[in-house]
Amino acid sequence: DMAEADDESFALQLILPEGGKTAPCCPHGPTLLFEKVSKRGERGRRFYACSACRDRKDCNFFQWEDEKVSEARLLAREVKNQSKRPLLSQEEYHTRFTTFISLPLDEKKFCQDCQILLLPGEREAHASHRSTDVSAAQLRRPSALLRPLDNKKSNAQYLFTDRSSHFLLDTLSALGYTKLLCVGTPRLQELIKLRNLEQKHKPMKSLLLDIDFRYAQFYSQDEFCHYNMFNHHFFGGEVGILQAFLTECDEEKVVMVADPPFGGLVKALANSFCLISRMWRKLQSSDGSNADMPMMWIFPYFFEPRILECLPSFSMLDYQVGYDNHPLYKHGKTGRKQSPVRLFTNISPKDIILPKEEGYRFCSVCERDVWCLNKHCAKCNVCPSKDGREWKHCSACQKCVKPSWRHCHSCGRCALPDHPCGLSQGKEGCFNCGSLQHKRKACIQSCVVYVYGDDGRNIDSS
C-alpha cells in the first residue's frame, strides 16, 4: 500500500511519463507512476498515485499500471474529479473582484470560514460565519488575508518575510529581470504589484502559478493560473497564458522563482521546471538556442545532492530564506534558529550579491558570497558549510565535516559521537532519511513524509 510505504523494506521510484502514454487523472490532474524497488533491487509492480498529495486522507487515488478499470469506475472517477473543480472560472472570479473593488468600504467583507470575498447579495448566506472588513491595503496582500494552509503532509504554506521577499526582488531586478514567473510564491507576486504602485522600483510583470485556488479571487486571467507543479498541469487548460508570459518582447527578461512544499518529490518538480524551461526556449527567437531559462528553486539545503542530480547546472547559494509563519526558522545569527532553506539556481553564483549587513561575505577564491561562518578550506578548496555552521576539516576523511561530528576509528569516518558504532561500516545510509536500508538514489522521499516533524525538527537532525 503506497501511502504507508515502509522504507525499511522498499523504496518507491518515480517513473517519469514518456511520450504517448497518458496517466489516469485524479482531482489533481494526471497521476504519477511509481515503482516499488526492494532492498535487494527487485522491481515491483508499478502503480499510479496522486502527484500532489502525500496523504491518502487528501487523495486516495490508486491504480496498478496494468489494471483494467471498469467503465463504471471510470465514470465515478470523472464525476469525482469534476466535483472537485472550482465553482467559478478565473474570468468569473475576476469579474467578482472588479465588482468588489467598487463597493464602499463598509460593504467590503471577507468570510473567514469560506475564505472568500463576499458580494452584497451573498452576506445573508454567510450570516452565521465569521467575517471581517477588508481594507484596500488588505486587498493588495491576499497572502496576509487568507489563512495559510497548514496541512503538514501535502500543502503547508510558509510565507516569506518581507526581508527575504525584498531581497529576492531587488536581486532579480538588479540582474535585469523584468518578468517574474511565481510558482508557489504568492507573496512575491503581491509584493511586485505593491512595488509597482510605489514607483520606487523598476516595474516588473508577474504571473502566479499555484494550486491554491483561493488566490484566483484577487487576480485577472493573465496574473493567476490554477496549476499543479508536480505534474505541470493547468487545471483550466491555461497553458497559453504561460506561453504568452514566457515570450520576451524588447528588453524583457523572464526568471522563475519556485517555493514548493518541502515534502515534494524533487524528481517530479525538476521535470516540471524542465518543461517550463523548454517551453521558454522554444518561444525565444533563435539566437540563444540552447540556453536554459533562469530559475530559482527554494528548498532546504539537505536536498542539495538530490536537486543537483536532477538539475546539474544548478548550484546552492548560502542565503538563508526567512519565513514569517514558520516559528522555528526565522532568520538570524542572534535570533532563533537559522533557516535551513536555501536558493538553488542556474544563475551564476558570482552575480548574486548577498546582504553584508546580514552576515554574508565574499569569498574571492570561490568567487561567490557565503555565510560569515562558512570559512574557506584551503585543503578542500571550497567554502564547505551547507548548514550555516562552521565546518572543520578532518584529515583522515580528507574532507570538511559538520562541527558536531568526530572521527570514529572503528567506522573509519566522521559521525555524531553517539552514532550506532560499527553498524554503519561500509554503509552510507540514505542522505534523505538516514535509513541504512537504501541509498539516496532509491529514496523517493516517501520516507520523508514530514520534512519538518510536528516539533519542527527536520530530518537532518545533527
Choice between 31 and 432, CB closer to Zn ion? 432
* DSSP track, 345-390: ESS-GGG-PPPGGGTEEEETTTTEEEETT-PPBTTTTB---SSSS-
- Give the neighbor-by-neighbor strand order of the sheet with 109-111: 116-118, 109-111, 131-133
Based on the shown chain and the rule CB under 5 A, indicate whether residue 394 belongs to the binding site for Zn ion: yes
Q: Which residue is nearest to ligand SAH (CB)?
A: 184
Which option in Zn ion, ligand SAH, none does residue 430 bind, with CB closer than 5 to 8 A by kind? Answer: Zn ion
Least distance to ligand SAH from the beta carbon of 329, Å? Answer: 11
CB 229 within 8 A of CB 183: yes
Question: Which residue(s) pair with 37 in the sheet?
Answer: 11, 43
d(CA 142, CA 157): 13
Q: Which residue is nearest to Zn ion (CB)?
A: 443
Closer to ligand SAH at the Cβ: 37 or 208? Answer: 208
CB of 119 to ligand SAH, least distance (A): 25
Residues whose CB falls within 8 Å of the CB of residue 145, separated by 6 or more in sequence, listed in order: 110, 134, 138, 139
Residue 160, contacted partner among ligand SAH, Zn ion, none, CB below 5-8 A by kind: ligand SAH
Beta bridge partners of 46: 35
Instruction: From 436, 457, 435, 454, select the one nearest 445 (Cα to Cα).
Output: 435
Which of 15, 88, 111, 239 is the binder for Zn ion (CB under 5 A)?
111
Find residue 226's DSSP bridge partners.
Answer: 210
For Zn ion, the binding residue among 365, 380, 421, 436 (CB under 5 A) is 365
Strands 392-394 and 399-401: antiparallel
Smallest distance from ligand SAH to CB 370, Å: 23
Partner touching 340 among Zn ion, ligand SAH, none, CB below 5 to 8 Å by kind: none
Does position 363 bind Zn ion by CB under 5 A?
Answer: yes
Cα(252)–Cα(152) distance, rounded to whole angstroms?
A: 38
Nearest to 308 by CA among 230, 398, 386: 386
Query: By C-beta, is 326 or 386 nearer to ligand SAH?
Result: 326
In whole angstroms, give the CA distance from residue 347 to residue 354: 14
> Closest CB to ligand SAH among 52 and 442?
52
Nearer to ligand SAH, 149 or 401 (CB): 149
Instruction: Please provide the DSSP assignment of 249-288 as one string.
Output: PTT--EEEEE---TTS-HHHHHHHHHHHHHHHHHHS-GGG
For residues 396 and 356, give the distance between their C-alpha atoms in angstroms, rounded to a whole number.
Answer: 35
Q: Which lies closer to ligand SAH via its Cβ, residue 194 or residue 411?
A: 194
User: Contact between 134 and Zn ion (CB under 5 A)?
Assistant: no
Q: In the complex with ligand SAH, which residue's Cβ is closer, 184 or 384?
A: 184
16 binds, among ligand SAH, Zn ion, none (CB under 5 to 8 A by kind): none
Q: Which three cell numbers stand for residue 391?
A: 565546518
* 146 part of the interface to Zn ion, by CB under 5 A: no
Q: Which of ligand SAH, Zn ion, none does residue 366 bind to, with CB < 5 to 8 Å depending on kind?
A: Zn ion
**Partner from Zn ion, ligand SAH, none binding residue 271, C-beta < 5-8 Å depending on class:** none
CB of 323 to ligand SAH, least distance (A): 7
- 1: cell is 500500500
For residue 56, the number of C-alpha atoms closer than 13 Å in the C-beta half-sphere is: 8
Nearest distance from C-beta of residue 37 to ligand SAH, angstroms = 24
| The binder of Zn ion chosen from 12, 216, 373, 433 (CB under 5 A) | 433
Binder to Zn ion among 189, 206, 271, 432 (CB under 5 A)? 432
Q: Please list the residues that pair with 392 across neighbouring strands.
A: 401
144 binds Zn ion (CB under 5 A): no
> Cβ 278 to ligand SAH, closest distance in Å?
19
**Sites of contact with ligand SAH (CB under 6 A):** 52, 155, 157-160, 184-188, 210-212, 227-230, 259-261
Which parts of this chain interact with Zn ion (CB under 5 A)? 111, 113-114, 126, 129, 363, 365-366, 376, 383, 394, 396-397, 407, 414, 430, 432-433, 435, 443, 447
